[in-house]
Structures are given as C-alpha cells and as structure tokens.
Amino acid sequence: MELKLVGNENQTEHVSVSDALFNREYNEALVHQVVTSYLSNARRATRAQKGRSDIAKSTRKPWRQKGTGRARAGMASSPLWRGGGKIFPNSPNENYKKKLNKKMYRAGMSVILSQLIRDGRLLVLDTLTVDTYKTKALADKLKNIGVDNVLIVLDEINENIYLASRNIPHVAVVEVKNVDPVSLLKFDSTLITTNCLKQFEEKKKKKI
C-alpha cells in the first residue's frame, strides 16, 4: 500500500509500505491485551499496609474469655478492632507483571498502526528538522502540517528537536525504538518519518 507524505520537505508524494504490517485487520481483544500488559508492567508497588503482626500493640488478652458479656477478643491488634492490622495488607513486594509473547506484542503494534492509517491519524514525512532550539520554530512547523496534539516518532532525536519540543503542550518526541502502544493511542495524531517506517518493516521480518 502507499501512504501520502506531508510537509514541505518532501521529495516524493507517496511512500510504499508493507500490507502485512500496515494493513492488518483490527483486533480489539489483541489491542486490549497489549495495552493492559504494557500498563501493568509499568506499574510499581509503592504501597504498604500493616498486618496484625506489624501493629505496635500489646498481644495481651484484653479481658477474660467468658463471663464479661462482651464479645470474645484475643488481642488489641485484631483486624476486627479499630486501629488493628489489616487481614490482607498491601505489600511493596506485589507483582503486577503480565507476560505477553513478543509475537503478540509485535502483532498488536501492527494492528494499532494499521488502524491509525485507516483513521487518518498517522502522518508520514521525509524528515523533521529545525534549525534552532527555539520552541517557536517547531511550533510553526507543526502548525503548517496541521497538528497540535501529536506524537513525533524519529529515528534519532537531535538536541534542537528535544529542546524545541519539551515546552509545547500535548507534543511528545520519541525514538522509534521506544514507541509504545499507549502513546500511539493517546495522541490525536502521530508524525513518523520514512526511515522509521523502514525500521518497523525490518522488525516485521521476524514473523508476526
């Protein structure tokens, strides 16, 4: 299939890409699995609660077992009591990781890219460069292309692009090796260079 190039720096009007990679049928279940797996693996266990053995309370029995008319109680750190320990406390050692096969991840990325093309949200250009680190230089270039909420995918990020983009809201710049499914879906548009498309196709040579 062929994709139309955008921008003023184009030498050609269209670029040919692989149908197997950029024209896959949408698979909602696969995309959901890829996204949830990515988010789960990025999660960190930073919470901790105290169990009944961690509470700084005496283990003495508050009153005798029978004859007081009160409910039975073993110790003040019981989970039934206010200030007692949790029955199943959260631990910083919790494991949130979800395993996903590499083949499934590559297939999911292919499905997402294909859907972005069908929706008109994937824009391709030859190169994206700015002569200065000033924010206005990149902002004007994006305005000419007609995008504002955009993920820019480059094969290599130079200093000017990095400095010019970091103060523009709703604009992110990543290298092609660091592209993730959540970012592709999060932004309204994705700007990608022809070199990055070739790198995606090289990865596709591994069966997906």
- Record the pTM: 0.80
What average pLDDT does the segment 135-148 reach?
91
> Could you tell me the two tokens for 208?
């997906």
Q: Does the pLDDT of residue 149 top 50, yes or no?
A: yes
What is the tens place of the pLDDT at every residue in 23-49? 899 999 999 999 999 999 998 888 899
Residues of the chain above pLDDT 90, percent: 62
5: which DSSP letter? Answer: B
Q: How many Å apart are CA 54 and CA 146, to the nearest integer?
A: 58
Going by pLDDT thresholds of 50, 70 and 90, the confidence category of residue 206 is low
pLDDT over 70, % of the chain: 95
Confidence of residue 12 (pLDDT cuts 50, 70, 90): low
Rounded-to-integer distance, Cα 137 and Cα 128, Å = 11
Count CA atoms within 13 Å of residue 202 on its CB side.
8
Asked if the model's pLDDT at residue 117 lies above 60, the reply is yes
Q: So where are the chain's domains?
A: 2-43+97-204, 47-95
Q: Which residue has the tokens 């230089």?
A: 137
Mean pLDDT of 134-140: 93
What is the spatial distance between Cα 134 and Cα 163, in angstroms, rounded to a whole number?
A: 7
Residue 62's pLDDT band (cuts 50, 70, 90): very high
Q: Give the span between the Cα atoms of 90 and 47, in whole angstroms.
A: 6
Architecture of domain 2-43+97-204: 3-Layer(aba) Sandwich (3.40)
SS3 184: helix
Tell me the C-alpha distance between 113 and 199, whole Å.
14
Average pLDDT, the chain: 89
